[in-house]
Amino acid sequence: MNIAGEMVRILGKDRVLDTKEDRLAYAFDGTMLSGVPDVVVFPQCTEQVQEVMSFANREGIPVFPRGAGTGLSGGSIPDGGIAMVMVDMNKILEIDRENLLCVVEPGVVTETLQTAAESMGLFYPPDPGSLKACTIGGNIAENAGGPRALKYGVTGDYVLGLTVVTPEGKLVQTGGRTVKNVTGFDLTSLLVGSEGMLGVVTRSTLKLLPRPETARTALASFSSVESAAEAVSEIISRGIIPTALELMDDVTIRCVENYVKMGLPLDAGAILLIEVDGPASTVDEHIAKVASACEYARATRIEVARDEDERDRLWKARRSVSAAVVQLNPTKISEDATVPRSKVAHLVRRIKQIARTYDLKIAVFGHAGDGNLHPNILANRRDTGEMKRVEEAVDALFEAALELGGTLSGEHGIGLMKARYLRKEAKETGIQMMRAIKQALDPNNILNPGKMLWG
């Protein structure tokens, strides 16, 4: 079977890559995992996606849909077959101000949509760390979050409807253009976060909000993670839901300060970056309440940004975390453990203990407000002894998250990386239910096989 030839017939010569170099270029995502596809294709419209899927389903060839490849769970890694790259379907088809929605193709870069919405006085809240590169299609496949999820929710909270090509090449329209829709099973939500295993999204209708009037940002330092966690609880118990409530532990602070030299307190046990948004009349009151809650939790220093420049400077600390931690260490294993908010300090304590047990350096940062932490293990992948310890540490980490009432993944997904842990959380009956759905909708196991449910 000449798959590439068939793909050229469907898509045209310019939209098919099959040299070894090109195939290698599409073997990766944001993890250390890789898998080389037999052919790489770039569909331009829904009909082409349907034709590719019909062909693949008929011939039993696996298809691995992907966007920009920034995923952090291996959700889009191919294993032979067809890598279907959706980035050329990248049009914002409509922004409807009156109905507060937009219709976009899956290859639209998240930041591009945000900018387009903002230029019309609107707001698309989901803000994954990779928003300058990642695509809406990938965000939907992994149900991506971001700092603003605390107040505004994750990608799935903004998906009103989807145009989806099924594993057999049929077209299904889920949801619609209304905020409320209870017509039939909620296929939209089932597809969101299904990691490209149940269908290929070729168009989505997304909810927008009016752009918040303004925002205020504060950076608070604490002698310990416990105090920072206490501040988080205190802020929320005072009735404030900040837009972002970002935590960095001591290891992260030192990495960031070493990288950006912005005067972060090197003796702090933790810092919190806190942002509130809303009408001008409330944000000052809210940030004052935030500061007072931090004082109550014995913050050692509280800075409130007085203008946009200062706000940018404070955010710089958070935004440079990923770059800063890889600066010192060639390999970064970025994890995504989530616990109920009240258990954040417990989880950080457990992570520090794991770091000592396995003699590893772990930087902990993330979205403390919704309990979603990103422990980043800093290592060197050429050091096989260290990588063995990393593996054991990751096992211990998920054990800890689940023990604390948490989940394996808050926003990165399961993909390949966490497939072997899924049974611990979903149990055998949950996995059976998920497999029954996969089998029902993709009887020939064509779409993104081997992920999530087969750990």
* Chain residues 130-189 in contact with a copy of itself, contact rule CB under 8 A: 142-143, 145, 149-150, 154, 156-157, 166, 170-174, 176-187, 189
* Segment lying near a copy of itself (by CB under 8 A), choices 19-27, 220-228, 309-317, 431-439: 431-439
Q: Provide the β-strand partners of residue 248.
A: 271, 365
Q: Does 210 bind a copy of itself (CB under 8 A)?
A: yes
β-strands 270-278, 82-85 pairing = unpaired
Q: Does 440 bind a copy of itself (CB under 8 A)?
A: yes
Among 80, 265, 278, 450, binds a copy of itself (CB under 8 A): 278
Six-digit token pair at 279?
A: 């009408």
Select 41 or 422, whichever has its Cβ closest to a copy of itself.
422
Q: Does 214 bind a copy of itself (CB under 8 A)?
A: no
Contact by Cβ (8 Å): 365, 252: yes
CB 187, min distance to a copy of itself, A: 6
Q: Does 372 bind a copy of itself (CB under 8 A)?
A: yes
Among 297, 411, 416, 448, binds a copy of itself (CB under 8 A): 411
CB 179, min distance to a copy of itself, A: 5
* Binding to a copy of itself, residues 59-88 (CB under 8 A): none
* Segment lying near a copy of itself (by CB under 8 A), choices 80-88, 124-132, 280-288, 303-311: 280-288
Among 441, 447, 448, 449, binds a copy of itself (CB under 8 A): 441
CB 450, min distance to a copy of itself, A: 15
Select 103 or 253, whichever has its Cβ closest to a copy of itself.
103
Among 13, 20, 239, 384, binds a copy of itself (CB under 8 A): 239
* Segment lying near a copy of itself (by CB under 8 A), choices 262-270, 277-285, 303-311, 376-384: 277-285
Amino acid at 106: P
Among 338, 375, 378, 400, binds a copy of itself (CB under 8 A): 338
Q: Does 101 bind a copy of itself (CB under 8 A)?
A: yes
Spatial CA neighbour of 135 closest among 91, 187, 175: 91
Q: Does 409 bind a copy of itself (CB under 8 A)?
A: yes
**CA 41 to CA 65: how far, in whole Å?**
10
Among 25, 92, 190, 260, binds a copy of itself (CB under 8 A): 190
**CA 440 to CA 269: how far, in whole Å?**
50
Q: Does 288 bind a copy of itself (CB under 8 A)?
A: no
Spatial CA neighbour of 114 closest among 209, 242, 245, 217: 209
